[in-house]
Amino acid sequence: MNDGFRLKAMYKNLGQTVLSTTWKKVINSCYGFFGIRFADKRGVSLMTSDQLDIALDEGKVYNYNQIGEDHFLVDSEKDLEVKGKSIAIASAVTSLARLELYEVMNAIIGKGYKIMYSDTDSIITDCNIRKFDDLMKRFMWDGCGAELGALKNECVDKIKSKLSKEQLEQQTLLDGGELKFDEC
């Protein structure tokens, strides 16, 4: 798992968005896989015409395209062939993540700031945790959220992608020179 986080961060730093996003999805899939529903999962698979006919008869095909003489890419529902699963592992991972999120929220509230929104994996707050060494050390020790378990300021990438270099420089001046991005 740590290799996945390392590769995600490396490709992000290299500007290779597709590879970075791919590793993010692989990591997220690993965590969620243990609690996955195995029956009637929608996905794309390669089928022969005989396999496609069976899937069509079962009413589980959403769409298909022929890609060879007797082969089709089929968007359908089917049961996954998996030997085991553990709802307990899936539950433990998500429960521990929620507890960590609650600790972040309590620490922010303890500093006198507000939580304006939260969901299963994010918080919107009026607190700039960079101004608090104790919060940085506890929740964002790497300064950018690239390490496993470190808090990440996800709006940074969105802001950078929407603003030109000139707009970023202008906003930095308006903010008294304090516009800083969480970068490793």
Q: What is the pLDDT of residues 149-173, one digit of tens each?
A: 788 877 766 777 777 778 877 777 7
Evaluate whether 102 touches 95 at the Cβ level (below 8 Å): no
Residue 55 lies in a domain: yes
pLDDT tens digit string along 38-84? 677 777 888 999 999 999 999 989 999 988 888 998 988 887 776 66
Residue 88 lies in a domain: no
Answer yes or no: do 146 and 101 share one domain.
Answer: yes
Q: Looking at the whole model, is its pTM more than 0.85?
A: no
Answer yes or no: do 146 and 158 share one domain.
Answer: no
Residues 6+ apart with CB under 8 A from 90: 31, 32, 33, 34, 35, 36
Round the average pLDDT of the chain to a whole number and report it: 80
Evaluate whether 42 touches 62 at the Cβ level (below 8 Å): yes
- Model confidence at 26, pLDDT cuts 50, 70, 90, reads confident
User: Could you count the other beta carbons within 10 Å of the beta carbon of residue 81?
Assistant: 6
Q: Which domain holds residue 12?
A: 1-33
Residue 86 lies in a domain: no
Taking only Cα atoms into account, the Rg of the chain, rounded to an integer number of angstroms, comes to 22
Q: Sign (positive/negative) of CA torsion 83, 89, 90, 93? A: negative
Residue 90 lies in a domain: no
Q: State how many domains the chain has.
A: 4
Residue 89 lies in a domain: no
Residue 84 lies in a domain: no
Answer yes or no: do 100 and 146 share one domain.
Answer: yes
Answer yes or no: do 74 and 102 share one domain.
Answer: no
Answer yes or no: do 23 and 48 share one domain.
Answer: no
Residue 141 lies in a domain: yes
